[in-house]
Structure 1
Amino acid sequence: MAIDDFAFRKGSNYGTLICDLNTHQPIDLLPNRTKASVTDWLTMHSEVVLVIRDGSNIYRAGIDAVNRPMVRIMDRFHLIQILYRWMLTSLQRFLPHQWSYILNLSNPPNQTETESKAEELQEIKIDMKPNQQKKWELIQVIKKQHQTGQSIRSLAKAHHLSRNTVKKYIELKEPPTNKRKRRSTLLNGYINLIIIGIENNLSSHQIFEQIKQQGYKGSYRFSQFLYKDLQPILASIYYTYSNGVIEGQINRLKTIKRTLYGRASFELLRKRVLYHM
């Protein structure tokens, strides 16, 4: 069987859809997405010998709580998504610091780079997104109108902005950016140790053990994820099953929900989803 969730109301209430991997048809619909409901359903259906799921911790815990041997598989698509997110997180944490460290050694800033920065500011309009470009054009209009003698109060009224916003726009000398400040993390105090470990070709686990000895309180979360889901991950490589079947049925479920205009009870929705022509 395959198991996945769907939204009654996105971000609020979720249910669970269960499909037969052989017939590609839905076999049950659960009104919630909890560990207990998954465990109870599997306990009542002892004929289930293989389960494929996404990376949900709820479904993993519910399936693992069933006290009988079953083949547990993690869907390859979701596995690749998780690996991709972890890779991006690692790159964002380590590589910017590593590259800035290397560049500072090999390419110290020179006068030519400083002079070219002014030219880049002139061309920054080309690289801006449409909404940023529109905002920058409005700022230019407000600045020109203020230079002609219009007061901040009249400009605020004309452009439906607060006086503080108009004042801020007038004082701007370059396009505003939406870059957020980097949040401080537990790793901030160990960046130099991590860079040294990378330069010495240490593995991520060896680097983790080193910074842990220096007082790092964080966890080696990715290794924990691999350890907890090792058997389902290996099974996803061995078996050819995927969650594609249930993803298609969830699309069908969404279509049925739309035809009911949000006025149907769960029981009616369940009957409509489980009905086979």
Structure 2
Amino acid sequence: MGVDEYATRKGRHHGTVLVDIETRRPIDLLPDREASTLAAWLSQRPGVVVVCRDRAPLFAEGATAGAPQAVHVADRWHLWHNLSEAAERTVAQHRRCLRVLISEAPEPEPAPVMPGENSASPWPTGHRFADRTRTTHATVHALLEAGHSRRSIQRQLRMTSRTVKRYADAAQPENLFAGQWQNRTSVLDDYKTYFDDRWNDGCTNAWKLWEEIVPLGYKGSYQRVRAQLRQKRHRDL
């Protein structure tokens, strides 16, 4: 059985649609997106053995309570959607490495900064992550100003409570551009190419690599080198 949402008025009223995955036909329409409503519906039909749903917490809670015997799976669209978002995050986190590969290419013209936009932002207009964050931030704050509760926003935007809190607590979207958004420097930046070459040569011993880069000018600690290799080892698994 497939579980998803439908809307009679987008952003105002949502319900739950139940679909027979084998016949691809709707089974029922529930008047809301409450976990208790879904659980009550499922508890009256013990024959459900597979629930195909997205990652909305309320669907997870309702399906678990109403059909504890059922296996939960994700549909094809959400699998590809989650994969594409994970790929975007990975590319953003490793964009410094990608710049090395295109260092000889002509520099693209910087994206224009919109009037009133913070020009000091590490991500100007044109970056999909930054634009999506700004749009979501504006939506969350517009709903808050309209009197919606955080729980209501969580349901409407299909977010977790932690994600809603992050956006609600941020006065400006730029406050959310941390970690993967920023070009943070490290004392190991000048030695990453050396690490890659030695790694490809088969040297994975952190202490040995630390001894090799100290004469080259490295002034950081051995612990940083060990942490760098641990991250590289996990990425290569």
Larger RCO of the pair (alpha carbons < 8 Å, separation 6+): 1
For the pair shown, the structure with the greater C-alpha radius of gyration is 1
Relative to the length of structure 1, the TM-score reads 0.40
Higher helix fraction (1 or 2): 1
